[in-house]
């Protein structure tokens, strides 16, 4: 029995290490993807060569070939017509790194998964979840190309809807990976511990994902570069270039000022919801196991809001905007831990 227990622990150790590695790589890809967007590098590679695309240009002729392909799209013709080859190399490397990381994640996830499956190291009830994650990783790659494709013909930029879906799916994959890690890492029965109503932490995490999706719309529309003031948008709380009834139409998702308005106000909702959760937890000692993680969430959320305000005031300056996106990764991480700790399976 002792030997079987040790074998089980060794299996779990390798699976946890594998999940942690992939989770880290997904987070890194989100960061690189954000910088790719902020540096306007996403359309620098105009083809989706799944296998040959792993090899970057190796000589001057290769660079000229890729640059000539870039010159055929509207972004170059209308915006970057004065770009030099050396300037093109900068945006190329951002997009190349983003795509290469995506390929590495796919390989590093699938090959160990097949090995673990073949050696029966993963419980049967978890196999569906693990293979579903792989399907999502593959679909994410397809979605990435679908997003890039939207900016190659008639536009100088990618569709902000596809950008938002691409980023949201990345965070869903990140959440599923981290959730499975937490399940394996914490195999204790805490069903007797008092918890909050489960819908509260779930609504909180869902609101953060919604906020991230809106943030991608803000980025896709360059909405962070308008109304560089806070707490008002110009002279008013509501942007004066739109009407209130437009907020409840599909046009609102295509109007930069309204998207920024929604992004601001969802942040306020998230803050007030967390204050309510904190009130429930800290007024009653039966929720003692949730106090530390909730306090950590509160600190990270305040810092994230602060970074959001700085992003607006700076007109989405690259370093600040990138830090704001990194903050969202930390916020999702600690919020998911709260959901997990509040569940009956932790």
* pLDDT tens profile 247-304: 888 889 999 999 999 999 999 999 999 999 999 999 888 888 889 999 999 999 999 9
CA distance 147 to 110: 24
Residue-wise pLDDT tens digits, 34-85: 999 989 898 898 888 877 778 889 899 999 999 999 999 999 989 888 899 9
In this prediction, residue 190 carries a pLDDT of 55
- Region 144-160 average pLDDT: 88
Cβ atoms of residues 178 and 30 within 8 Å? no
Answer yes or no: do 277 and 206 share one domain: yes
In this prediction, residue 219 carries a pLDDT of 92
Answer yes or no: do 213 and 111 share one domain: no
Answer yes or no: do 215 and 269 share one domain: yes
Answer yes or no: do 125 and 226 share one domain: no
Of the candidates 131, 166, 187, which is a domain's last residue? 187
Query: How high does pLDDT run on average in the chain?
Result: 89
DSSP character at residue 74: H
DSSP 157-198: S--HHHHHHHHHHHHHHHHHHHHHHHHHH-----TTS----T
- Region 8-22 average pLDDT: 85
Q: What angle do CA 104, 325, 275 make, to 5 degrees?
A: 130
Answer yes or no: do 196 and 120 share one domain: no
Answer yes or no: do 302 and 337 share one domain: yes
Between 221 and 12, the more confident residue is: 221
Answer yes or no: do 299 and 344 share one domain: yes
Cβ atoms of residues 127 and 134 within 8 Å? no
DSSP 283-308: T-GGGGGGHHHHHHHHHHHHHHHHHH
In this prediction, residue 5 carries a pLDDT of 42
Answer yes or no: do 179 and 223 share one domain: no
The number of folded domains in the chain is 2
For the ranges 45-49, 63-67, 111-115, 230-234, the lowest mean pLDDT is seen at: 45-49
Answer yes or no: do 163 and 150 share one domain: yes
**pLDDT over 90 (residue 343):** no
3-state secondary structure 196-258: CCCHHHHHHHHHHHHHHHHHHHHHHCCHHHCCCCCCCECCECCCCCCCHHHHHCHHHHHCHHH
CA distance to 243, 249, 259, 262, 327, per residue, from 252 (Å) = 10, 6, 7, 9, 26
Of the candidates 187, 206, 234, which is a domain's last residue? 187
Percentage of the chain modeled with pLDDT above 70? 94
Backbone φ and ψ of 236, nearest 5°: -130, 165
| Parent domain of 159 | 1-187
Answer yes or no: do 267 and 158 share one domain: no
Backbone φ and ψ of 233, nearest 5°: -100, 95
For 76-113, give one letter per residue: b (16+ CB within 10 A) or e.
beeebeebeeeebbebbbbbbbbbbbbeebbeebeebb
- Region 106-127 average pLDDT: 91
CA distance 303 to 211: 15
Answer yes or no: do 179 and 211 share one domain: no
Of the candidates 155, 187, 219, which is a domain's last residue? 187
Please provide the size of the chain in residues. 346
In this prediction, residue 344 carries a pLDDT of 65
Answer yes or no: do 170 and 227 share one domain: no
């Amino acid at each position: 029995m002792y030997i079987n227990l040790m074998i089980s622990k060794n299996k779990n150790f390798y699976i946890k290490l594998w999940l942690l590695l992939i989770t880290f790589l997904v987070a890194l890809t989100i960061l690189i993807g954000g910088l790719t967007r902020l540096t306007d590098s996403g359309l620098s590679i105009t083809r989706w060569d799944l296998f040959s695309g792993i090899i970057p240009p190796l000589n001057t002729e290769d660079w000229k070939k890729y640059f000539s392909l870039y010159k055929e799209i509207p972004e170059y013709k209308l915006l970057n017509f004065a770009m030099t080859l050396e300037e093109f190399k900068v945006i190329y490397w951002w997009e190349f790194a983003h795509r290469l990381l995506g390929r590495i994640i796919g390989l590093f996830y699938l090959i160990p998964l097949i090995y673990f499956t073949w050696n029966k190291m993963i419980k049967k009830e978890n196999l569906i979840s693990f293979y579903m994650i792989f399907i999502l990783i593959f679909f994410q790659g397809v979605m990435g190309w679908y997003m890039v494709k939207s900016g190659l013909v008639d536009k100088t930029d990618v569709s902000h809807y596809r950008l938002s879906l691409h980023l949201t799916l990345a965070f869903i994959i990140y959440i599923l990976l981290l959730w499975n890690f937490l399940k394996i890492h914490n195999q204790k029965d805490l069903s007797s511990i008092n918890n909050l109503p489960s819908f509260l932490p779930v609504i909180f995490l869902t609101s953060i994902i919604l906020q991230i999706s809106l943030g991608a719309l803000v980025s896709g529309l360059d909405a962070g570069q308008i109304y560089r003031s806070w707490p008002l948008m110009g002279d008013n709380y509501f942007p004066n270039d739109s009407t209130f009834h437009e907020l409840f139409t599909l046009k609102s998702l295509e109007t930069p000022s309204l998207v920024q308005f929604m992004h601001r106000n969802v942040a306020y909702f998230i803050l007030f919801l967390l204050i309510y959760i904190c009130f429930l937890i800290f007024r009653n000692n039966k929720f003692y196991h949730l106090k530390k993680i909730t306090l950590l969430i509160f600190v990270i959320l305040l810092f994230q809001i602060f970074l959001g305000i700085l992003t607006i005031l700076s007109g989405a300056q690259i370093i600040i905007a990138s830090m704001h996106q990194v903050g969202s990764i930390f916020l999702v991480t600690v919020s998911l831990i709260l959901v997990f700790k509040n569940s009956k399976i932790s």
